[in-house]
Chain A
């Protein structure tokens, strides 16, 4: 240590210098308070030994100045008074002026060594604290930079989503620097809206890290026309592979299909999704039936969403568990009951969103949330119209070229691969306008699904007529497809340039038994039910649509 000794008596000074030097310290000497303060400022020693009674400036004043200065430079520099005083009041005065301890004269080597060593330890402790504080500040700065970086990347990823969808309302209340909740939505090439609300374990950076690959997969697969089940499975696969055990994402994926008039909901560990009717009543709660994303890999993952007819849904209300677990100042939770009451109090579907938002805000009454809160309302009926409004109709402006392609898919392939995204990707490349693309996609998907469901699997679509039937129909579909031993579906597409645009011929053939073609036609002409509407829809978009053979081949022509 570097120790400053301030002492007017030359003999005492020399003695102290010898003692301290023997202990291995470096010694600085001053003859009075004023010199002592000056030397202190210049050298900033590690410790000061200060005589009390000196000419020019006494020890009290010198210590007052020294302590003020060492406070300014943010260091603890111990000061020990050297005194022959024995009066208690005088000794107390030493401490009052900022002294940390005192040593009595005459000097005793053992005592001096003990005191100096003790302050050496305290001095070292302060040094360590100061270094740790610096280190903490450095880490804090680094962390803030990294959060800035993550937020930048995160914003870039989610900025791809379409703006201004009127029938989608959202409210997010993050706890950390940014939310552990992720809300993304995007339109598919087939004209559906895909929405995902995810809630990652943890908040801030840890959560955002997972959100980046998830939203990337969500956007790219949605734009390529993959179905909801495939998107859920791919996100699950990626998270299972990327995240360490114990980290996962509770999520709900939803597709709203205004063309086929149906809603798909895949709920993996988010609280129940509320189905609201036009009067604002909760008609159903879609419970989570799946594990969160990223928990189990591969074959254990249940990818199949629930399918609900659009006509049964006025709007859907989604929220993260932060909403029902939010607490008020007396520690009570908002709960499902609080949510039910808030919805009930709204009185109409249009008022539900604000009623819930106001309800939770009033309930918390400024009390800090301990989990991110997200609330999302999808007005399904309105959305299905809005999705089609923005679509550009008419010719694409580029000259159509001639091409054809043919796919033949066996049962094994159909179980694993949905052919529609593959075909859609191709159609995107051919520069169809958005309106044309939606039409062709709709026709193709109806024809292909029909070939699989009715041609190969011989499912009875009248089962779809009831609410529960709609779901069991799709469960049955997947079961039958798993069991089917053989069969195939062939798809042929051919485009030729014609005056004013293009002609796309579609031909879908299945290896099934076929059916009575005339009966289908008569059903198409007067069917207003929920089922069998797919083919009627496809036919309305085509210039011709005819069944051939024993009903297992269909040919359609689309002009655009």
Chain B
């Protein structure tokens, strides 16, 4: 079972998913991005760190879209540290058109 952890600094929120990012973590992932920063403000930038993520499936893509909706139009979302497999899945789905993938 994957682990979702979240940290925040300077108005940026970093969400890390360790293990398999699939439907089983949807509650944890949602709880993570629904957190507000100190003072109740919403992050201006989200960093999704896939450094410890082994695999993502289509429900993970769905969760990314939900995060994008939650973040709103002005927010900046960056996906970092993808392994080749995850890059391929994001590529096939053309998610580079919606997210900033580094």
Residues of A within 8 A of B (CB): 199, 201-202, 245-248, 250, 268-271, 287-292, 295-296, 321, 371
**Separation of A290 and B97 alpha carbons in the complex (Å):** 9
CB of A250 within 8 A of CB of B98, answer: no
CB of B62 within 8 A of CB of A291, answer: no
B69 within 8 A of A: yes
**Separation of A268 and B62 alpha carbons in the complex (Å):** 15
Q: Is the interface of B mostly helix, strand, loop or mixed?
A: helix
**Separation of A270 and B92 alpha carbons in the complex (Å):** 7
How far, in Å, is B73 (CB) from chain A's closest CB?
12
Residues of B within 8 A of A (CB): 23, 57-59, 61-63, 65-66, 68-69, 92-95, 97-98
CB of A201 within 8 A of CB of B98, answer: no
| Cβ-neighbour of A291 out of B57, B58, B93 (below 8 A) | B93
| Cβ-neighbour of B69 out of A245, A250, A292 (below 8 A) | A245
**Separation of A292 and B62 alpha carbons in the complex (Å):** 11
**Separation of A268 and B98 alpha carbons in the complex (Å):** 14
**Separation of A248 and B57 alpha carbons in the complex (Å):** 13
**Separation of A215 and B55 alpha carbons in the complex (Å):** 31
**Separation of A269 and B98 alpha carbons in the complex (Å):** 13
A245, A271, A321 pick with most chain B CB within 10 angstroms: A245
CB of B65 within 8 A of CB of A290, answer: no
CB of B94 within 8 A of CB of A288, answer: yes
Which residues of B sit under 8 angstroms from A247, Cβ to Cβ? Answer: 62
Beta-carbon nearest neighbor of A201 in chain B = B58
CB of A288 within 8 A of CB of B61, answer: no
| Cβ-neighbour of A296 out of B58, B63, B98 (below 8 A) | B98
How far, in Å, is A300 (CB) from chain B's closest CB?
8
| Cβ-neighbour of B92 out of A248, A321, A371 (below 8 A) | A321
How far, in Å, is A155 (CB) from chain B's closest CB?
24
A sample of 18 more A-B contacts (CB under 8 A), given A248-B65, A250-B58, A289-B94, is: A199-B58, A201-B58, A202-B23, A202-B58, A245-B68, A246-B63, A247-B62, A248-B61, A250-B93, A268-B94, A269-B93, A271-B92, A288-B93, A288-B94, A291-B97, A291-B98, A292-B93, A295-B98
CB of A246 within 8 A of CB of B62, answer: yes
Which residues of B sit under 8 angstroms from A199, Cβ to Cβ? Answer: 58
Beta-carbon nearest neighbor of A243 in chain B = B62
Which residues of B sit under 8 angstroms from A290, Cβ to Cβ? Answer: 94
Beta-carbon nearest neighbor of A269 in chain B = B93
